[in-house]
Each structure stands twice: as C-alpha cells, then as structure tokens.
Chain A
Amino acid sequence: MKTPRALVPVLIGLVVLGGWEWFVRSGRVDDVLVPAPTQIGDWFWAAFRDGSLASATWVTMRRLMLGFVIGAAIGIPVGALCARSSLARDTIGVLSLGLQTLPSVCWVPVAIIAFGQNEAAVLFVVVMGTVWAVVIAVQESVLSVQPLYLRAAMTMGSRGMHLWTRVIFPAALPGIISGLKQGWAFAWRSLMAAEIFVVILTGFGLGSLLHAGRELLRMDQVVGVMLVVVLVGLLADLIFFSPIERWLRRSRGLER
C-alpha cells in the first residue's frame, strides 16, 4: 500500500513536539522562557473558552480585510491609470515605487499623529501597506499584456471599457493576483506592527494580545498568538490566493 505523502512530515512533527515536551519537563530549561507544547495548548484552550482569542482574531481580521479591500479598490484603478498615461506613470507610478520600498510600519507614527489611537489609524496603515504594491503590480502587468491580443481585439471592434474589461484585465489577471497577494502580505505585516506597538483603544486584536503576553511575561501566550498569526497567513494563502492562482494557471495551460 502506498503511504500518503503527508504521513512522514506529520510523524516527524510529532517526534519534534514530543522531544520538546520531554526537554522542558526534564527541567533542563526554565518553562517561563520555553513553555512546553502542552502549556501552549493549555493557553489555547483557556483563551478559546473565555472568547478572548476569537474576539481578538475577529478584530484583526476585520481590520485586515477592510484595509485590504480599500487598498485594492484604490490600487487597481490607479495602477490601470498609470499603465495608460505616461504622465501618471512618471508621477504616481514613481511615487508608488518609492513608497513601496518604505517598510509599512513607518506609516504607524504618521497614522497615530493624524488620526489618534483608533480604527482610522489602523486602517490607514493597512491601506498604505496594500495600495502601493497593488498599483505597481497592476501597472506592470497591464503594460506587459501582449500587444497581439489588443490588435486582435481592436480589429473585432473592441474599444474603451470593453477592451479593458474583456481583454486587458483578463490578460493581466495573473500579475494582478500576485500583486494582490503581495499587498495582502504587506498589509498583514503592517497591521501586526501597528497592533503591537500602539494600544488601539477601539478594539484589541491579535497584536494587542501578543503585546499583553509580553507585559505579563506569558511566553505561552506569546508563542500561542504567534501560531495564530502564522495560521491566519497560511489560511489566507491556502483558501484564497493559491486556489485562484492554480485555477488561472490551469485554465491557461501553464500547469497541468
């Protein structure tokens, strides 16, 4: 019988966890500094039961989704404009390229001064994290659409909006999706930074929970929240971006 491919990695993972548990329990290391897997599990269970984990995850996800959607909604048309007009490209495009290299955590001080410790500030940071990457990706992928497609579509009478929605965007879609994925990753990092460094008075997210764990010297909580953060990132990729990318590649014959 053929063994499933996941079996061996899972076994190795269990062995590592078991070794870790044994190592902490044997007293060779202070469990305040290095909590055992079961201690982290205990924290998970407690945080799950009192609802603090779910509420923090919800607060963070809501901020992330909202900021990402706004960022994409601004970034896609602006990127398209930059692809179309060389003036826009030389101004907004160049600005976007510059701001994209700025670590998005740098927007946190600006946001706090401008908006205060509230949702608007967090949202601003997330939008700033998303928008520039999306602008650049959309601009580049629209510019690299094969001219042959445009020529063919134009001879068949496609112009203006029809050309954009039926030819340019579908042709540029793979590039736009990777841009969105990158924007999402930037937004996620900037949101965590904002939540950890600043007490946002309007709601406690995962970053706040992580920060609280540090204040209380609760390494189990810190590691536990980190695991949730990893999980959220993985899930976004696994259930959203990867399926879209795979579908795109398959339907265009770039992957079997």
Chain B
Amino acid sequence: MSAPLSSESHSQLTLRNVTKRFHGRAGRVTAVEDITLQVKEGEFLVLVGPSGCGKSTLLSLLAGLEQVDEGSIKLDGADVVEPGRDRLVMFQQDALFPWLDALENVLFGLRLKPGLTDAERTEAARFYLDLVGLADKEKAHPHELSGGMRQRVALARSLAPNPRVLLMDEPFSALDALTRDQLYGDIQKIFKQRKKTIVLVTHNIREAVCLGDRVVLLSPNPGRVRQIFDINLPRPRRINDPALATLAADITTALSAHLEAPLEGLV
C-alpha cells in the first residue's frame, strides 16, 4: 500500500489536485475532489469504488470529454483539454456505430489518423480484429454480434489507432460472467503484447485485482482517493485464483471501513 507522489519523472499521465463539480437539479455537486495520481508508462491502473465516487467522471476528465474545474491533468507534460487520439476510450456500452460493419468500425479511428495509406489502415484494422479473435467477423454489423463480441470489436477499435493510453469505463459490467472471464484473459494477453498504459474504471473489486498493477480505491461524496494497493500477483491472473480472492476481500474490507467511518476521522 503506497502512494508514490514523488517520482514524477517516470510518470506519463499526471493528475494534480483535480476537482470537478457539476451543477445538477440538486444544486452543486462535487464529483471528484483534490485527486492527485500518477500513471506510469505501461502501467495498468484500476480505479475502483462504489457508485457516486466519481470514477467515471475521472475517466471522462482523462479522456478530455469534461474539463477540470481545479487542478490539472497532463499527458507527457501537455495539458489534457480536449478529446484526442492519444487517449482512446472503451465505454460501458460498446458504442459501436450500428450503421458500420465490424471492420469499418475499427477503421473509423484509423481513418482519422494522418500519414497512413488506405491499405495500411485496412491492414491495421484486420490485425486488431484478429488480435481480439474476430478475424472472421469483419463484415458483421454490431447487431449480428453478441455482447462480448461487440466489446471485443470496441477494444480493437480503441487499440487500432495505437493510443498512448487506453481508458476503460466499466467495459465488462454488461457482460455475462463467462464472457467476462474470457475478456479478462484477452485483455491481459493484449496488455502484455502491446505494452499499453491502461486506466480501467470498475466497481468490481475482484476484476480490479485481476487486471491491475495498482488499484486506487475511491470513496464517494465527494470522490477522493482513499487508498492505493499494489497488486504483485503473477500474470496471467485468473479471476478464480484464491490468492486473488483473498486480496480482493482485504480491499473490500478497507472499502467498507471507509464507507462507515466519518470523513473527518480519515483525512
């Protein structure tokens, strides 16, 4: 359990005192408050916490889809102010375009990437569809694919333009357990092969332990970093591994403690 706040030199994605508020019907709500984090090159970071802890907001901020109210987010030293190809997102629903087939969906981001020929783009799209095991489905439209296959296409789509960081917003939560387990395997394989920096948001603590190098525990109202866990289990990890389950139980206990304890007592 550590929060290395000093070694900024090796970190690629830096959040410094990030605060974000929303003006809703219930007045002003602070979604995340004073969050400072560093994501290292090639690290798999997982943000975990109960609903309302601002983890999805944090991901939107990283994606540049929302702007910070206070603090700063930097990628390789440059401020994150708008969405960009260097940070691609896998959403909770697959967000595939229903009017395009699988290959065209993967090509969507590639077509916006300059400096490639059409042949190179098609080749890259096929490579990534193959990587997620859907080489034979390139002509299928999203509605012809299962939920798991759609999320795989979405994964290929976010990987294909070769982003610096892959952001994942609970991409497994709408899938059945079996498909989810398969995808955990796929993601770890791809993470190892492609050496990507990944930030995953989830409310599933086992999932967090299974995938993450570090697990950041957030607490709600307002969203704050409560604790950071280093996960040193060997990869590839299996979700049913007893060691993993033990660690997940520890984090769950820590989470419940934070939820029950009054805020002032902890800060």
Please measure, in the bound complex, the distance between the C-alpha atom of A36 and the C-alpha atom of B97, giving whole angstroms: 56
Would you call B222 an interface residue if the criterion is a C-beta within 8 Å of the partner chain's C-beta atoms? Answer: no
Q: Which residues of the partner chain A approach B91 to less than 8 Å between Cβ atoms?
A: 148, 151-152
Cα distance A62–B85 in the bound complex, in angstroms:
48
Q: For the complex formed, measure the closest distance between the CB of B267 and the CB atoms of chain A, giving whole angstroms.
A: 33
Q: Chain A: interface secondary structure? A: helix
Question: Is B84's CB within 8 Å of the partner chain A?
Answer: yes
Interface residues on chain A, size class: 20 to 34
Query: In which size bucket is the chain B interface?
Result: 20 to 34
Q: Give the residues from 133 to 183 in chain B that come closer than 8 angstroms, CB to CB, to chain A.
A: 141-144, 157, 161
State A167–B97 Cα separation when bound (angstroms): 8
- Contact, CB under 8 Å: A155 / B63: yes
CB neighbours of B89 from chain A (8 A): 151-152, 155
* CB neighbors of A among B84-98 (8 A): 84-85, 87-89, 91, 93, 95, 97-98
Residue B83, interface by CB 8 Å: yes
Main secondary structure of the interface of B (DSSP, over half): loop
Summed over the interface, the residue pairs from A and B with CB atoms below 8 Å come to a total of 64
- Cβ of B109 within 8 Å of any chain A Cβ, yes or no, is yes
A7 at the interface (CB under 8 A from B): no
**Interface assignment of A156: CB less than 8 Å from any CB of chain B:** yes
Chain A residue numbers with a CB within 8 Å of B161 are: 156-157
- State whether the Cβ of B108 lies closer than 8 Å to any Cβ in chain A: yes
Residues of B within 8 A of A154 (CB): 65, 83
Shortest Cβ distance from B143 into A: residue:
A253
The answer on a CB contact under 8 Å between A173 and B142 is no
Residues of A within 8 A of B143 (CB): 252-254
Mask, A9-39, CB within 8 Å of B = 1, is 0000000000000000000000000000000
- Residue A84 lies at the interface, judged by CB distance under 8 Å to chain B: no
Please give me the residue from chain B that is nearest to A169 by CB atom. B99
Q: Using a CB–CB distance below 8 Å, which chain A residues touch chain B?
A: 148-149, 151-158, 162, 166-167, 170-171, 173, 251-254
